[in-house]
């Protein structure tokens, strides 16, 4: 059989035949089985994957087609998924899905999630649950960050279910958003947030965290020793309205280098 000969000797010629020959002249099921067997031995061969995608398309098996479109990084994957409503089939391959690059981005060195893929995941978050997406993206925290931002824009609010994760992601990728989140959310663990901010030496955030913990003395220490901002320290103590804190401020001011009593 000529197709079998092409498959054994020249995968590019085999692919060309699959594209151009009418499927009625060969047994598609037998050919698919043969190509699958060969592909399992050569899983990086793009000609074999293209051939399988085309054969599954010919035999009206879109679920199988999309598996190979994903492996091949085909830009038409997103439209194909929407057309056949194959959202369930993305669940097990979320990372590969977001790593797909459009032809114009093939040479780009930026590691951004595919915007079409991100949009599809957000639009169908009822079918592709956010907790599953975030789990799949654990080794790609920047992708988690971009997904959380997009999900927050769609759903509104601050996504209380993932408070601790948001602290980690904003600390790593979006510090301005971190302080806003710390001030407006009650969904994160203060101790975990303290550890994260101490590791990164985020002093403004630490002042807020210690104050929220009720540890105003420690917050004052950070302002004086780390920020070295006397005006901020005075304003902080004034807002707290604690006489003992005023005494601490005065004592600390005396021991600072350059003060009259130091």
Positive or negative torsion for Cα 26, 28, 33, 34: positive
pLDDT of 261 strictly over 60: no
Instruction: Give the pLDDT of residue 110.
Output: 64
Instruction: Give the pLDDT of residue 246.
Output: 74
CB–CB of 102/114 below 8 Å?
Answer: yes
Question: pTM score, two decimals?
Answer: 0.80
In whole angstroms, what separates CA 208 from the centre of its chain?
Answer: 27
Q: How far apart are CA 115 and CA 184, in angstroms?
A: 28
Q: Is 193 domain-assigned?
A: no
Q: Is 159 domain-assigned?
A: no
Q: 108 vs 76, 97, 99, 114, 156, CA distance in Å? A: 19, 17, 12, 12, 32
Q: Which residue has the higher pLDDT, 75 or 18?
A: 18
pLDDT, tens digit (0-9, with 9 covering 90-100), for 86-134? 988 888 889 988 998 755 555 555 689 999 999 999 999 999 999 999 9
Tell me how crowded residue 60 is: count the other CB atoms within 10 A of its CB: 8
pLDDT, tens digit (0-9, with 9 covering 90-100), for 125-184? 999 999 999 999 999 999 999 999 999 999 887 788 999 999 999 999 999 999 999 999
Q: Is 41 domain-assigned?
A: yes
Q: Is 241 domain-assigned?
A: yes
Instruction: Give the pLDDT of residue 241.
Output: 63
Which of 66-80, 168-182, 192-206, 235-249 is the least confident region?
235-249
| Closest residue by Cα to residue 232 from 207, 257, 212 | 207
Give 198's pLDDT tier (boundaries 50, 70, 90).
Answer: very high
Q: How far apart are CA 211 and CA 206, in angstroms?
A: 8
Q: To 10 degrees, the CA torsion angle through 30, 32, 38, 43? A: -170
Instruction: Give the pLDDT of residue 242.
Output: 66
Instruction: Give the pLDDT of residue 223.
Output: 80
Q: Is residue 109 packed enough to be buried (19+ CB in 10 Å), middle (13-18) or exposed (0-12)?
A: exposed
Q: Is 223 domain-assigned?
A: yes
Q: Is 201 domain-assigned?
A: no
Q: How far apart are CA 144 and CA 68, in angstroms?
A: 24
Q: Which of 16, 45, 60 is the last residue of a domain?
A: 60
pLDDT of 260 strictly over 50: no
Give first-to-last CA distance, the chain, whole Å.
Answer: 96
Residue 88, classed as helix, strand or coil, is: helix
Q: For the chain, how many structural domains are there in total?
A: 2
The mean pLDDT value for 192-207 works out to 95
Q: Which of 60, 76, 95 is the last residue of a domain?
A: 60
Tell me how crowded residue 158 is: count the other CB atoms within 10 A of its CB: 17
Q: Is 114 domain-assigned?
A: no
- The two tokens of residue 216 are 């105003």
Q: Is 34 domain-assigned?
A: yes
Domain around 26: 1-60
| Closest residue by Cα to residue 224 from 175, 259, 192 | 259
Instruction: Give the pLDDT of residue 149.
Output: 96
Q: Output the average pLDDT for the chain.
A: 88
The pLDDT > 70 percentage for the chain reads 89
Cα 19-20-21 angle, rounded to 5 deg: 110
Q: Which of 32, 60, 88 is the last residue of a domain?
A: 60
């Amino acid at each position: 059989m000529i197709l079998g000969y092409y498959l054994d000797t020249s995968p590019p010629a085999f692919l060309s035949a699959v594209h151009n020959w009418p499927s009625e002249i060969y047994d598609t099921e037998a050919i698919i089985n043969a190509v699958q067997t060969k592909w399992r031995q050569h899983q990086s061969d793009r000609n074999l994957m293209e051939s399988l995608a085309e054969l599954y398309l010919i035999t009206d098996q879109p679920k199988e087609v999309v598996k190979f479109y994903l492996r091949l990084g085909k830009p038409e994957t997103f439209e194909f998924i929407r057309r056949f409503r194959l959202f369930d089939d993305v669940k097990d391959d979320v990372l590969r899905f977001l790593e797909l690059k459009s032809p114009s981005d093939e040479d780009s060195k930026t590691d951004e999630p595919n915007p079409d893929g991100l949009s599809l995941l957000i639009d169908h978050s009822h079918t592709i649950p956010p907790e599953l997406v975030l789990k799949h993206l654990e080794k790609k925290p920047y992708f988690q960050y971009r997904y959380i931002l997009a999900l927050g824009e769609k759903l509104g609010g601050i996504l209380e279910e993932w408070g601790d994760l948001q602290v980690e992601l904003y600390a790593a990728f979006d510090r301005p958003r971190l302080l806003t989140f710390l001030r407006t959310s009650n969904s994160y663990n203060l101790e975990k947030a303290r550890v994260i901010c101490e590791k990164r030496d985020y002093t403004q955030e630490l002042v807020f965290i210690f104050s929220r913990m009720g540890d105003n003395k420690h917050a004052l220490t950070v302002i004086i020793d780390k920020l070295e901002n006397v005006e901020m320290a005075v304003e902080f103590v004034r807002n707290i309205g604690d006489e003992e804190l005023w005494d601490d401020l005065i004592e600390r001011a005396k021991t600072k280098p350059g003060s009259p009593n130091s």
